[in-house]
């Protein structure tokens, strides 16, 4: 199986294998082993950086380094799981917010699937690359050069030079490492964004609990979100915020079963994603 075929095979089968999306499953392990060499071959530094993504279409993403991380790392199996979710739900949702758009990978995929996309990204380096990438792919999500926080305004932003995918609003992370650059960025109110979109992809590097807990559970009745939970303290805050409500949490770590206790919550990127919804189950 060549790299293009391997990638399309993975994207095609992921929705029907949703009961095996836990990183602990042997199926996940098998697909993960297929993903890495295929992505390196298709989007690595010596490739054309083009592929046809099953259910999405032709896709270009020029190789780009972000410190010790590069653009091929954005195509991990957990991300492909999210892409497959976008693909099978393109008639369920319409208006999507991409919070922490990075260099535009999710926004491009969502736009190609026909969603109306608002992409929020505060880092000027990433914003330049987003604009190049969306032009290359002939899609035009609405790019908003702002971070997302509890209110409209401004805040200090910390760029982690050695891994700009880990850059964040100052104070959102502990145990920082390497060279840091700090500067002011504009912020948008998460509550306003939540009320204007029916699906949110949230990757705000440690700030997720703060923004989610700035809302009321009733604000979520018409909106769903998929996100990474960056720490145990954030997991606890999110779990407690929704515990007495009709809003449900579903964890990739249990292959999208409903979270019944704090022990079921993801608490780092290694646990995969969390889905927040008023639905009774995740719509695979």
Q: Tell me: the pLDDT tens digits for 253-266?
A: 999 999 999 999 99
Provide the CB-side half-sphere exposure for 184 (13 A, CA): 3
Separation in Å, CA 145 to CA 93, 121, 193, 277: 24, 5, 14, 27
Look up tokens 């993903």; give the residue.
35
CA 140/CA 122 separation, integer angstroms? 18
- For each successive 10 residues of the chain (284 residues), what is the average pLDDT? 94 97 97 96 95 94 95 96 97 98 97 98 97 97 98 96 93 87 98 98 96 97 96 97 97 98 95 97 96
Q: Do the Cβ atoms of 55 and 65 come closer than 8 Å?
A: no
DSSP 3-state helix, strand, coil percentages of the chain (rounded to 5)? 40, 25, 35
Can you give the pTM of this predicted structure? Answer: 0.96
**Domain parsing of the chain, residue ranges:** 68-277
Separation in Å, CA 237 to CA 66, 186, 274: 30, 25, 14
- Most distant pair of Cα atoms in the chain: their distance: 52
Closest CA to 249 of 231, 230, 269, 229: 229
Determine whether domain 68-277 maps to CATH 3.30.360.10.
Answer: no
What pLDDT is recorded for position 284? 96
Return the ∠ at Cα 219 (arms to 215 and 220), rounded to 5°. 105
Residues 6 or more apart whose CB falls under 8 angstroms from that of 151 comprise 187, 189
Q: Do the Cβ atoms of 115 and 220 come closer than 8 Å?
A: no
Q: Tell me: the pLDDT tens digits for 150-179?
A: 999 999 999 999 999 999 999 998 888 889
Structure-block tokens of residue 111: 């736009």
Closest CA to 67 of 186, 179, 174: 179
Query: Which residues face 250 on adjacent strands?
Result: 258, 275
């Amino acid at each position: 199986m060549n790299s293009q075929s391997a990638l399309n095979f993975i994207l095609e089968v992921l929705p029907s294998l949703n009961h095996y999306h836990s990183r602990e499953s042997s199926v996940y392990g098998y697909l993960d082993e297929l993903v890495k060499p295929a992505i390196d071959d298709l989007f690595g530094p010596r490739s054309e950086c083009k592929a046809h993504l099953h259910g999405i279409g032709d896709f270009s993403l020029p190789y780009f380094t972000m410190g010790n991380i590069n653009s091929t790392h954005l195509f991990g199996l957990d991300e492909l799981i999210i892409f497959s979710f976008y693909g099978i739900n393109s008639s369920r949702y319409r208006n999507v917010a991409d919070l922490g758009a990075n260099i535009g990978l999710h926004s491009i995929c969502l736009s190609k699937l026909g969603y109306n996309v608002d992409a929020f990204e505060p880092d000027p380096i990433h914003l330049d690359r987003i604009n190049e990438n969306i032009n290359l792919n002939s899609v035009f999500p609405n790019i908003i050069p702002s971070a997302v926080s509890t209110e409209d305004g401004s805040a200090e932003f910390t760029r982690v030079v050695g891994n700009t995918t880990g850059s964040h609003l100052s104070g959102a992370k502990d145990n920082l490492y390497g060279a840091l650059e700090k500067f002011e960025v504009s912020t948008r109110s998460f509550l306003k964004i939540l009320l204007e979109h029916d699906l949110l992809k949230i990757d705000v590097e440690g700030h997720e609990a703060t923004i989610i807990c700035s809302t009321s559970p009733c604000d979520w009745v018409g909106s769903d979100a998929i996100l990474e939970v960056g720490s145990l303290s954030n997991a606890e805050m999110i779990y407690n915020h929704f515990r007495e409500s009709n809003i449900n949490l579903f964890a990739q770590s249990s292959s999208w079963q409903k979270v019944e206790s704090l022990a079921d919550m993801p608490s780092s990127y290694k646990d995969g994603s969390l889905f927040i919804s008023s639905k009774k189950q995740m719509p695979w």
